[in-house]
Amino acid sequence: MPIHLLDVNYARSQFPALKTGFIYGDNAGGSQVAVNVADRIYEYLLNSNAQFGADYSVSMESTRRVMVEAPEAAMKLFNAHSPDEIVFGASSTINLENLARGMEDDIQAADEFILTGEHEANAGPWKRLAARRGAVVKYWTPTPTSPNNPYSLNYKVEELLPLITSKTRILAFAACSNILGTILPVKDIVHAARDTAKEKGSKKLEISLDCVAYAPHRLIDVRDWDVNFCVFSFYKVYGPHISALYVRMSSLKESISAITHHFLKVHQKSYKLQPGGPGYELVYGTTGVLPYLFSLTPENDLKASFDAIAAHEQKLVQPLLAYLTAPEQIERGVRIVGAEAPGITRVPTISFIVVGEKVTKSSDIVKVFDKKGGIGIRFGHFYAYSLVKELEPRIDVDDGVVRISLVHYNTAKEVERIIEILTEALA
């Protein structure tokens, strides 16, 4: 199937916020909301705002929208087997914390968890669960890929496998880092990890995948990847401030206890991990994301749409990386944190620092953008605290990195403007 060119003007027309001309360069922190999503939230609140589960007509409509339409739409975004494998929560952090709480009875002392230092959402819940149950935490750490840049970090499967033993119970990592911006070969990693765990005699390995920084850029496929848990945030995928969590049915049945009210008959459905109701209007609003993505290409096919997104985003990545890795910037002290070269495994989430004789704080670079106005980027650790804290040579974790995060509705002209201001900030 040929890759269609993304109609960026059409894409931008679906986001009213972009009409102001403001350049949103902090999309990894939260994308703009498609008008179709906002319309559904508005329409729900005006016409079906009732507690679901009752027999009167408005409640029945609310039930259909929240308990049927929304899980079915999210199921397609995950490529899950069943809508019963979908959990909604206020954030990915909350969803994964609830997942860890639900697994508490199934974790034994001396079980081993292998974690990365990525966003704390997919590390903190497992660390706390390990502390409660006496499990052991190990860390899969990234290493440089370029001999000339100690910050050019990436995760290598050959450095993961020696960590796996007969006691390995949980492996939690990110499909794409919200700092490093590199897409990992998830299927290969999972396959190698499961084979190694089986060889070592592990009785049960479950894999938790953070797709928050991945989902805006590429298609998720939990079945092909063979993962047990997967999470992403709709508010970073053109939707409302809510998260969806995939939990494989076998894990729901065998590993997870209900954390809902004791009298609820949740059986094996994912509702057992959903204590209290998430915002109904937001849950229904998520059903607007799928039609928007379908509309980006004539095939009405998610893969075609994400292929078009990826092709356009490469056009955004290339000039920005070329500027930041040019000889004059290297001499200035600019260092990319993550992959230095563009490519299909590189998303337009680009982090860098300025070191050397003329070291410049990340916050000072962002101040130049703030002073100019009309554009938003950020600095900091972006909740990947452990990763940024361990960057060597050591940097101030609170000042962190400068991060410019783009998505498919950004344009080449916006990248030119970003480079223009960077040139001033680095002078």
Class of domain 43-292: alpha beta
pLDDT in tens, 346-359: 999 999 999 999 99
Q: How confident is the model at residue 268 (pLDDT cuts 50, 70, 90)?
A: low
Q: 325: helix, coil or strand?
A: coil
Task: Based on DSSP, count helices (H) and strands (E) in the chain, helices before strands.
Answer: 17, 15
- Is pLDDT at 333 greater than 80 in this prediction? yes
pTM greater than 0.95? yes
Q: How confident is the model at residue 277 (pLDDT cuts 50, 70, 90)?
A: confident
pLDDT of residue 183: 98
Instruction: Name the DSSP letter for residue 390.
Output: T
pLDDT of residue 52: 86
pLDDT of residue 276: 84
Q: 208: helix, coil or strand?
A: strand
Spatial separation of the C-alpha atoms in residues 88 and 245, rounded to whole Å: 6
pLDDT of residue 145: 95
pLDDT in tens, 215-253: 999 999 999 999 999 999 999 999 999 999 999 999 999
Pick the CATH number of 8-33+300-425 from 3.40.50.300, 3.90.1150.10, 3.40.1190.20, 3.40.50.2000: 3.90.1150.10
Closest to 167 measured CA to CA, from 138, 210, 124, 131: 138
pLDDT of residue 37: 98
Span 155-160, average pLDDT: 98
Q: 52: helix, coil or strand?
A: coil
User: Which tokens go with 391?
Assistant: 């960057």
- What is the full DSSP assignment across 57-113? HHHHHHHIIIIIIHHHHHHHHHT-S-GGGEEEESSHHHHHHHHHHHTGGG--TT-EE
- Is pLDDT at 342 greater than 80 in this prediction? yes
∠ Cα 66 238 225 (to 5°): 80
pLDDT of residue 267: 65
pLDDT of residue 12: 98
User: Which tokens go with 9?
Assistant: 């003007």
Span 134-157, average pLDDT: 97
Spatial separation of the C-alpha atoms in residues 404 and 420, rounded to whole Å: 14
pLDDT in tens, 188-210: 999 999 999 999 999 999 999 99
Which amino acid, residue 132?
R
User: Which tokens go with 175?
Assistant: 């499909």
pLDDT in tens, 73-92: 999 999 999 999 999 999 99
Q: How confident is the model at residue 266 (pLDDT cuts 50, 70, 90)?
A: low
Q: How confident is the model at residue 4 (pLDDT cuts 50, 70, 90)?
A: confident
Q: How confident is the model at residue 1 (pLDDT cuts 50, 70, 90)?
A: low
Q: Mean pLDDT across the chain, nearest whole number?
A: 96
- What is the full DSSP assignment across 243-295? EEEEE-HHHHHHT----S-TT---TTSGGGG--S---HHHHHHGGGHHHHHHT
Q: What are the residue ranges spanned by the domains of the chain?
A: 8-33+300-425, 43-292
The b/e string for 83-113 (b: 16+ C-beta within 10 A; e otherwise) is bbbbbbbebbbbbbbbbbbbbeebbeeebbb
Backbone angles phi, psi at 27, to 5 degrees: -70, -25
pLDDT of residue 225: 98
Span 257-265, average pLDDT: 88
- Is pLDDT at 317 greater than 70 in this prediction? yes
pLDDT in tens, 374-417: 999 999 999 999 999 999 999 999 999 999 999 999 999 999 99
Residue 171, beta-bridge partner list: 114, 207
pLDDT of residue 262: 85
Share of the chain above pLDDT 70, in %: 99
